[in-house]
Amino acid sequence: MTQPGNKDAKSGRIVKALSGYYYVRPFDAPPGAADIQCRGRGIFKKRGESPLVGDVVEFEETENGEGAVNALMSRSTELIRPPVANVDLAVLVFSVTEPALNLQLLDKFLVHIEHAGIDAILCLSKQDLAENGEESAEAEQAMNEVVRIYEPIGYEVLVTSSKRGAGTSALKERLQGHLAVFAGQSGVGKSSLLNALVPGLTLETNEISNRLGRGKHTTRHVELIDIGGGFVADTPGFSQLDFAELGIEELGSCFKEMRALSSSCKFRGCTHIHEPECAVLAALANGEIAPSRHANYVLFMAEMKEKKRRY
């Protein structure tokens, strides 16, 4: 990262990147002030650096009403897909139904978030669908299953309904002081949830396609949404999750409950699949680890080995 140099320069955060421009919000900007449209200095390209949405930067305004980003401050985190810097909280949005809750996909998201070193909370949307109609029993069961499996591991679970506004004030309070990313399966209501969080925000939303059973992507670029006291990155990223950035030996550490037990395994580098005196397998047998979590871990491990074999 480049270091601050110009004593007359200002500091701010990149809140949007679009068509080669970086839109910087100065830290001292009054509420409602326009963001500064900036170009990045050529020095970034020479150093192989690239400013990202979420970056804290040093910039200066130029004579044409635009600005130039001169320096990037050190990042606490950096996501590759979606490309966002300094995210410190991930809100994984999954609907209780329409589309049906998919624990395998939820665990895959959690693996990526844990690998990135970011705290995660699980947000169950469309609570209203659990209270009436034919699918209410199925949705109620899905909600209870998530609470039963993930709260004991240490994940916070929030239940919301954008239509009724239920749970949105608790979520907004939880987001205060954070730069969060909303992630989740397409069609789960991420944009609707953000619209409910921020009065006047009109993010494009799409109804679920009955034919496909999933939603169409409604977000086209990464942008930080100011929710008052915090930011949320509304992003099209995380739609195609793979394990390209993750080593096989790192997978177990991305499952919180396995990470806590691994030091008690007999063998160093235990895969938690077949080894004798494995603390994880013992906990699984005793009902202390959810079978779905371990089954997904085994599935992800096989997927990673297959990918490695092919390449």
Annotated binding residue at 186? Answer: yes
Annotated binding residue at 37? Answer: no
Annotated binding residue at 270? Answer: yes
Annotated binding residue at 185? Answer: yes
Annotated binding residue at 272? Answer: yes
Residue of 33, 24, 88 lying closest to 62 (CA atoms): 24
Annotated binding residue at 178? Answer: no
Annotated binding residue at 123? Answer: no
Annotated binding residue at 298? Answer: no
Annotated binding residue at 265? Answer: yes
Query: Which one-letter DSSP state was computed for residue 48?
Result: T
Which residues partner with 91 through β-bridges?
121, 182
Annotated binding residue at 188? Answer: yes
**What 3-state class would DSSP assign to 62?**
coil
Annotated binding residue at 136? Answer: no
Annotated binding residue at 191? Answer: yes
Annotated binding residue at 128? Answer: yes
Instruction: List, as residue ranges, the binding site for GTP.
Output: 125-128, 184-192
Instruction: List, as residue ranges, the binding site.
Output: 125-128, 184-192, 265, 270, 272, 278
Instruction: List, as residue ranges, the binding site for Zn(2+).
Output: 265, 270, 272, 278
